[in-house]
Structure 1
Amino acid sequence: MAESLLFSVADSFIGKLASRVLDEASLALGVYDDLRGIKDTSSLIQAVLLDAEQKQWQNNELREWLRQIKCVFSDAEDVIDDFECEALKLQVVNTSGSIRRKVRHYFSSSNPLAYRVKIAHQIKDINARLTKVAADRHNFGLQTNYSDICVVQKRGLTHSHINESDVIGREHDKQKIINLLLQDGDDTYLSVIPIVGMGGMGKTTLAKSVFNDERLGEAFQKKMWVCVSHDFELKHLLVKILNSTSDSSPNTFQQENYQNFDIEQLQNHLRNTLSDQKFLLVLDDVWNESRVKWEELKDLIQCANGSKVLVTTRSHTTADVMCTTNTSHILQGLSQNDSLSVFVKWAFKEGEDKKHPELMEVGKTIVQKCGGLPLAIRTLGSSLFLKFNLEEWKFVKDNEIWNLPQQDDGILPAIKLCYDQLPSYLKRCFACFSLFEKSTPLFDIEVTAFWDALGFLPTPKQGENSGDIGKQLLHELCSRSFVQNFADGGGIFCFELHDLVHDLALYVARDDFQLLNIRCENIRENVRHLSVLENDLLGQISIPTGLRTILFPDGANNEPFLNTCLSRCKYLRLLKMNNSRYKYLPNSIGKLKHLRCLNLQQNKQLERLPDSVCKLQNLQALNLIGCEKLQKLPNGIGNLIKLQELCITTKQSNFPEGLAKLSSLEILVFRHCDSLMFSFEGIQFPKLKLLSFSSCGNLKSLPFHIIRNIESLVIHNCNTVILSMGDNNNEIPNLKLKLLSLEILPQIVTFPQWLQGCANTLHTLYIENCENLEELPKWLSSFISLKNLGIENCSKLVSLPEDVHHLPNLERLDIIGCPELYRRYQPEVGQDWYKISHIKHVTFELQESED
């Protein structure tokens, strides 16, 4: 429930009231005492919120009191943000003097008297409302607690990864499915084998274990993995299957894209790709119950060569529609012994369970409550890791939430309980996941930008930024098994949510957050954060005025809806319009003075942005990647003084005016800026962490004075860039790089010497399609922090550094499409296999033509 997020709301609101600019502005308006009163009263309310949140389920009046507090805090935050927005305008006014004099000047000269009267009245009204609701706290006998005592115990990230050691108690299931896949049958039709079970039962884990079994690699010429979820539209499925037929790249930035193909082209391409090949296709998480849709797809992949399809689904109807065998494989819960083994694996360090027999007795009861569900067992086990207090274990065992009725949508009391034990600052961040569709790959950059825009991030400590805080929170969620497939690409993280955890996010966030689809057309009362999945809904829904977030559906082109949204939702913090078809944005967008994040990625029809965008002085993230027709950035972009993330695609030829003023930038990405003439002379970007150039034909040289301080550098398809440092080519600068990605750079023959400067920091190195690269330098073996090394389609590269076995921390080596390297380092038989055999994860793949 949204009321469980109130402690975090109160905490961030109180922190906002401590702003120096706000103090000076309140003195200028004569409301200083009112703001101090609001802060003191908010602290009194916050002190009892943790106790109130725990007791609300037994007391309807208490729950209603929390709803009133939520309403007052929401209104108060809007008023204070509005006040702060106006006060912050002084930072772009070139007047001299103290902050206090600047504020007085602004409110006395630049702003109408009507605004001063209105904001003063609103602040006094909020103070009165808070005072009234605070007085009611004495009616409920609440205990005072000024700090959120829930602490997340961190553990190694490997505990959250899916690997064979995590597959416990499924040996029989795995062998049975492999036997079905390998058995001879009637090769005139496509054999389909469904795995059926409820969410969190381990269907996907089992399917992955089967999929990666060596015996299937020998039996099938091609293996494909497709996550289907609710999207069973034919074109989307064909695109996913085609993408899965391609060799995977270690680089998460570039993916094959068939989106512009029509169905006729897609089906021709797929049939040609699968022709005369015996394949295994896994369709993971299928919900479709329409036989017509399934037959339409099956006709296109039907092969008379013994190919097989493995399906995972929660729906028995789906299994019956798709199944060609006698029966589906029904995945049951784990046995008590296997369940206990899973629990012990996640709740204790190895062997430590034997030291705590009293905890194990309680643990056996907890495991029974999980009903054999692997995800529930793993999540509860993780929540108790490194906790040895018997009362904490009994709390998990005896908590009444176990007695809540099971929801139809698969919400499990076990997972809900673990959510209740999260620190309050993590609860709001977790609730934000409800705005994304299931099975959506997520990146920390986007998620952190969302959290930051909505004010969900704790205040950074000295030396930290919002990106650092976002990564810390993701690590905490990962340690609790709330996210999965968590991959570190050298400072850039990719992850997913299990469907069951996504269901939980929808459940706990349902008052404030809503994912609107064709099956749910009504917007709930008091929704503040809205994600619309269907374009057709834009003409049917009425937008609430209090929205702070709106995510438009792909393909949005409803101009009346856009105009209504911008005019009614004056408190928007987050606006995402990816893949829309708008040519222009209205000037009224400049009135969204609260806007922190504007994501216009892949708006291929967008030709210009109004200059009024530069009035958005609170904007922290602006994403224009893929806006292929965008003529130029708006004049005055330098006024966006709080901008931290800027991603650009533009036809502009001159360097964007005012870019040098953006001293708060942490992420700067240029993609498909072929006409842009780059000159970074005089530009510093002191806070920049990530710099990326992709398909920038006029990039001649790199800004080494900037590169010295960044952590991630990506250079992709920039054929004219010279990587050397010119006259200073022998200089070895001190670098902080953690991620370096070099892709489609035929000019590279050898590595430039200056890269030795990141020998102590580089975490991940990707080298892709550098067709003339002949050797890796000997000094690469001195990179003591290198964990991930990926090399793809570098045909002239014949060897790794002689001392590659001296890399102390190398954990993953992926080599794709490099036949000479394959022959030399081929597992078990290559002449130099012994030099890399100690690496935990080694992957070799050859292109089809090389096999």
Structure 2
Amino acid sequence: MTRLKVVHGGIIPLLRGGVTLWMTRASNALESKTATFARIGRVSLSILFYPPHPLAFVGILLRKEEASQVVGVYDDLQDLKSSLSYVKAVLLDAEQKQEHNHELREWLKQIKLIFYDAENVLDQVDCQTLHKQVVRDYGTPKDKVGRFFSSSNPLVFRCKLAQQIKDIRKRLDRVAADRDKFGLQVIDVDRRVVHKREMTYSHVVESDVIGRAHDKEKIVKLLMEPSLDNNAGSKHISVIPIVGIGGLGKTTLAKLVFNDERIRESFPMKMWVCVSDDFDIKQLIIKIINAVTVSGTTSADALVPQQTLRDMDIEQLQYLLRNKLTGQKFLLVLDDVWSEDRAKWIELRSLIRTGGDGSKIVVTTRSHSIASMMGTVPSHDLECLSLEDSLSLFVKWAFKEGEVEKHPNLVTIGKEIVRKCKGVPLAIRTLASLLFSKFEINVWESLRDDEIWNLPQKKDDILPALKLSYDQMPSYLRKCFAMFSLFPKDFEFQTGHVLSLWSALGLLPSPSKNETSENVVNRYLSELISRSFLENVRDLGTSYYFNIHDLVHDLALYVAKDECLVISSDSQSIPKNVLHLSFIEFDLFLKSFKPSLLGVRSIVVPTKQEHKGIGANNEDLFPTWVLSCKYLRYLDLGDSTFETLPRSISKLKHLRYLSLRNNRRIKKLPASICNLQNLEELNLYGCVELEALPENLRNLINLQRMLITTKQSVLPESDIANLCSLEELDIYGCDNLESPFVGVKLPALQYLRVMRCKNLKCLPLDTHHFPQLEKFVVDECGKFELSDGHENMNSVLRCFELEELPEWLLNMTSLKFLHIWTCPRLLSLPSGIHRLKSLEVLRIKRCPKLYRKYQPQVGEYWHQISHIKHIQILQ
């Protein structure tokens, strides 16, 4: 069976086998970052808009020397900066208040549009700078004369830019003048906020809960086990985290445990505290003291009036708390924890350590990182309900007792609705409640066929529950998350997908020293994973594969609705100010309505596997649609079937990403494509009929990632070598290629992958040719010979036929990732593999002889690899 995986937006069939060697420099992927900036060449503008929080952070940095040298409009830019700063001071406050004020929402929308226009104007500075550099380095006298008489003439450009900046400043000043009527306050720090939810409580009717008996027993068992001292003479309180997305029933499960008879008998003191969004130590102490009192374990004369507690300082409160807990065996439930401030948690933990032996804490949270920070035992990850339990819960909430037997036809429809809920109890209850005591079949069918996010929402519905997690995200992560709305439900994402999109749209900060863009993206994805927003996550060491739950996808649609639009057969028009378009049906490109697409920044055609190869095929696509998108940054035309690109594609001078992956008809690219100086990624993966890469690739001076398939036997190596920003090169299906890059140096290349190049014989893998190379992948290249620069100059790496790995592998002391797949003849790993102290990830798949020998704990040679941090061996 063919295996498929997605890399950088392409579908790669892994028909045979391969070995992946990934060497990386040390990097701190978890290092905290400053604000996210959209890199605009010599002028950097940071803008993050997203409804219902359309402007999360705005800032502008002007590099005086370079800006003034490039365009000579520094004074105008400084004036714009002053106007931006004037508005920025109150935007965070406006963002938090706008959901409850329609007029304020409209004001923010106006601000948003002005800032997007400002970004487009400033982006022209980048375009002009890059164009000037190309003309200087590679231009002919004719090019330079032509530039003088064109709109790129520095004097003409400077005058036009200055006027545009003045116009934007005037618009901004007019709108900003209205800020005072909203009573906005200056907020300098972008703190994560969360809407207040109902305070939880400890009572629950056990018969109302379905499908959680097994979970309850596991938590009870952990609570009944004796606590282990972490060191001699030190109190150790076990902390048991319950983790899951909003709506799964974490609080309900904690209530079941809290009220279990065995727990009552085992813990004479019980306290239930709803933490919610505010992990304020003083308030938590007061809540715990109140919970102790309510539990009945304190005598009446020890009751402390609420006002008295509020009047106490932190020293008095902590003394009172310690006095109440000392020597008492207690159970404390901290429900709905959001704060990742470890210092606060340590402070609280130290205060409650005076409890008696065997005291326990149960924490409910949506964040795996919080669970890891607080927990002393592995987290209990709450699973979705089974279909059977989901249906039982649905019936319980949709019908009165005794009614269900009278309406079997409604139960059948209800089962279809339940499937859509994917086992999330809160979603099930929400939909079932809407149908309570309604017996019209058309009502049920309408609900079945509708989207949850379109339903009338109340504070207890599923979207607000999920949105609590969204609101708690830092501002830089919110817009990144919203981009998931452009892809269909059940889409399998990979790090490369989001890297391409987020980078093209300016949502990523520049990587720090010893860090790559991929590291930054994986850090962002790790944050989303910790917040339970991603599911089916597979961590491959250097990248993630994942899906998002349908309800989370609905949330992305909801928060992105004003600026992201998924075009379907039901679409009647395209809103004037939409920024990002996704076409889920291929024949919708040239629908009859005539949209205004001037401001569109993204066009996405996210193909599913079953639709592969039947993409946009009309040659009028560009004149009608794409070329009207003057400020387009991201253009994904994967699986398209048109045969040519027009020369006029060079007009898309703001374009950062262009994909024609898996276009099996295109034979030639226009030379004008090399005028896209802003282009960061060119994806020609799977363009099997492409006769040659265009000339003058060297003009793509901003290109960082390139994926190519071509019939050429010789690549334009000198051009590629002059791509000084090129970090990743993926060569796929180039059957005529034999020995590329001999004598050519690729100074910035960090990642080289060669796949299914059947006649490829060698690559000069040494520090002279690839001084920055960190990762090298070879797969299905049957004639390939790997030169290591040492004694074994011709060690053959032949994937499917591979029987042993070369001993020189042990000299690769910086090797961090070793992936081996589908090598059925491979007998063993090098005996000295334990010497690879830097090796962190070892993945072996479909290597039956290795599976038996290196199986964890029981394999004959397990001891040789047991030191490796992450090991995955699959049959």
Letter matched to residue 718 of structure 1:
C
**Greater RCO, 1 or 2 (C-alpha within 8 Å, sep 6+):** 2
Q: 1:696 aligns with which of 757, 761, 768?
A: 757
Q: 2:71 aligns with which of 12, 26, 36?
A: 26
Q: 1:379 aligns with which of 349, 360, 366?
A: 366
Q: 1:479 aligns with which of 515, 530, 544?
A: 530
Contact 1:765 1:790 in 2 (8 A): yes
Structure-2 change in CA distance of 1:600 and 1:528 (3 Å): same
Per-residue deviation at 1:594?
Answer: 0.1
Letter matched to residue 635 of structure 1:
E
Structure-2 change in CA distance of 1:106 and 1:755 (3 Å): farther
Tell me the distance in 2 between the aligned counterparts of 1:838 and 1:654: 44
Matched residue, 2:643: 583
Matched residue, 1:442: 493
Matched residue, 2:692: 632
Letter matched to residue 543 of structure 2:
I
Per-residue deviation at 1:130?
Answer: 1.8
Tell me the distance in 2 between the aligned counterparts of 1:727 and 1:419: 53
Tell me the distance in 2 between the aligned counterparts of 1:448 and 1:724: 32
Contact 1:552 1:576 in 2 (8 A): yes
Per-residue deviation at 1:117?
Answer: 3.9
Tell me the distance in 2 between the aligned counterparts of 1:759 and 1:356: 51
Find the residue that maps to 1:790 and give its secondary structure.
strand
Find the residue that maps to 1:642 and give its secondary structure.
coil
Structure-2 change in CA distance of 1:692 and 1:822 (3 Å): closer
Find the residue that maps to 2:589 and give its secondary structure.
helix
Are 2:601 and 1:548 aligned? yes
139-148 or 608-617, which deviates more: 139-148
Per-residue deviation at 1:609?
Answer: 1.2
Which string of whole-angstrom CA distances, capped at 9 and with x for unpartnered residues, describes residues 453-489 of structure 1?
Answer: 1111134334544333222222222222222333332
Are 2:813 and 1:744 aligned? no
Per-residue deviation at 1:109?
Answer: 9.6
Contact 1:526 1:546 in 2 (8 A): yes
Find the residue that maps to 1:598 and give its secondary structure.
strand
Q: 2:466 aligns with which of 415, 418, 439?
A: 415
644-653 or 108-117, which deviates more: 108-117
Q: 2:745 aligns with which of 684, 691, 705?
A: 684
Tell me the distance in 2 between the aligned counterparts of 1:201 and 1:150: 21
Contact 1:583 1:607 in 2 (8 A): yes
Tell me the distance in 2 between the aligned counterparts of 1:202 and 1:743: 48
Letter matched to residue 547 of structure 1:
V
Per-residue deviation at 1:551?
Answer: 0.9
Identity of aligned residues (%): 43
Letter matched to residue 48 of structure 1:
V
Are 2:541 and 1:490 aligned? yes
Contact 1:621 1:643 in 2 (8 A): yes
Matched residue, 2:782: 719
Tell me the distance in 1 between the aligned counterparts of 2:371 and 2:843: 36
Matched residue, 1:755: 809
Per-residue deviation at 1:829?
Answer: 7.5
Contact 1:3 1:66 in 2 (8 A): no
Matched residue, 1:84: 126
Structure-2 change in CA distance of 1:64 and 1:780 (3 Å): same
Find the residue that maps to 2:785 and give its secondary structure.
coil
Contact 2:813 2:838 in 1 (8 A): yes
1:308-387 counterparts in 2 under 5 A?
A: 334=253, 336-337=255-256, 358=287, 378-379=365-366
Which string of whole-angstrom CA distances, capped at 9 and with x for unpartnered residues, describes residues 583-613 of structure 1?
Answer: 1111111110000011111111221211111
Matched residue, 1:778: 831
Q: 2:89 aligns with which of 41, 44, 47?
A: 47
Letter matched to residue 820 of structure 2:
I
Contact 2:67 2:74 in 1 (8 A): no
Structure-2 change in CA distance of 1:817 and 1:722 (3 Å): closer
User: Which 5+ residue runs of structure 1 have no aligned equivalent?
Assistant: 97-101, 153-167, 176-197, 206-331, 370-375, 389-401, 733-740, 793-815, 847-851
Structure-2 change in CA distance of 1:583 and 1:67 (3 Å): same
Tell me the distance in 1 between the aligned counterparts of 2:872 and 2:136: 58
Contact 2:806 2:830 in 1 (8 A): no
Are 2:582 and 1:531 aligned? yes
Tell me the distance in 1 between the aligned counterparts of 2:50 and 2:652: 25
Matched residue, 1:68: 110
Tell me the distance in 1 between the aligned counterparts of 2:486 and 2:822: 36
Tell me the distance in 2 between the aligned counterparts of 1:368 and 1:36: 43
Per-residue deviation at 1:359?
Answer: 6.4
Tell me the distance in 2 between the aligned counterparts of 1:459 and 1:823: 44
Tell me the distance in 2 between the aligned counterparts of 1:137 and 1:731: 71
Tell me the distance in 2 between the aligned counterparts of 1:840 and 1:337: 37
Q: 1:650 aligns with which of 710, 716, 724?
A: 710
Which string of whole-angstrom CA distances, capped at 9 and with x for unpartnered residues, describes residues 712-763 of structure 1?
Answer: 221001111112335654899xxxxxxxx977352x443234322433442x
Tell me the distance in 1 between the aligned counterparts of 2:820 and 2:488: 32
Per-residue deviation at 1:50?
Answer: 0.6
Per-residue deviation at 1:74?
Answer: 1.2
Contact 1:645 1:667 in 2 (8 A): yes
1:180-329 counterparts in 2 under 5 A?
A: none
Structure-2 change in CA distance of 1:127 and 1:336 (3 Å): same
Find the residue that maps to 1:575 and give its secondary structure.
strand
Find the residue that maps to 2:366 and give its secondary structure.
helix
Matched residue, 1:2: 50
Structure-2 change in CA distance of 1:119 and 1:488 (3 Å): same
* Backbone CA RMSD of aligned residues: 4.5
Contact 1:346 1:385 in 2 (8 A): no
Contact 2:658 2:683 in 1 (8 A): yes
Matched residue, 1:673: 734
Which string of whole-angstrom CA distances, capped at 9 and with x for unpartnered residues, describes residues 401-451 of structure 1?
Answer: x9xx99546743222122112221111111111111112111112211211
Instruction: From the CA coordinates, give the structure whose radius of gyration is larger.
Output: 2
Matched residue, 1:391: none
Structure-2 change in CA distance of 1:170 and 1:788 (3 Å): farther
Per-residue deviation at 1:767?
Answer: 2.0
Matched residue, 1:602: 662
Are 2:80 and 1:38 aligned? yes
Instruction: Count residues with an aligned counterpart.
Output: 611
Contact 2:760 2:783 in 1 (8 A): yes
Letter matched to residue 366 of structure 2:
T
Letter matched to residue 651 of structure 1:
K
Structure-2 change in CA distance of 1:69 and 1:785 (3 Å): same
Matched residue, 1:433: 484
Find the residue that maps to 1:585 and give its secondary structure.
coil
Letter matched to residue 336 of structure 1:
K
Tell me the distance in 1 between the aligned counterparts of 2:723 and 2:797: 26
Structure-2 change in CA distance of 1:725 and 1:69 (3 Å): same
Letter matched to residue 526 of structure 2:
H
Contact 2:740 2:763 in 1 (8 A): no
Per-residue deviation at 1:655?
Answer: 1.6
TM-score, structure 2 as length reference:
0.62
Tell me the distance in 2 between the aligned counterparts of 1:345 and 1:140: 33
Structure-2 change in CA distance of 1:840 and 1:20 (3 Å): closer
Letter matched to residue 799 of structure 2:
I
Find the residue that maps to 1:750 and give its secondary structure.
coil
Tell me the distance in 2 between the aligned counterparts of 1:678 and 1:467: 29
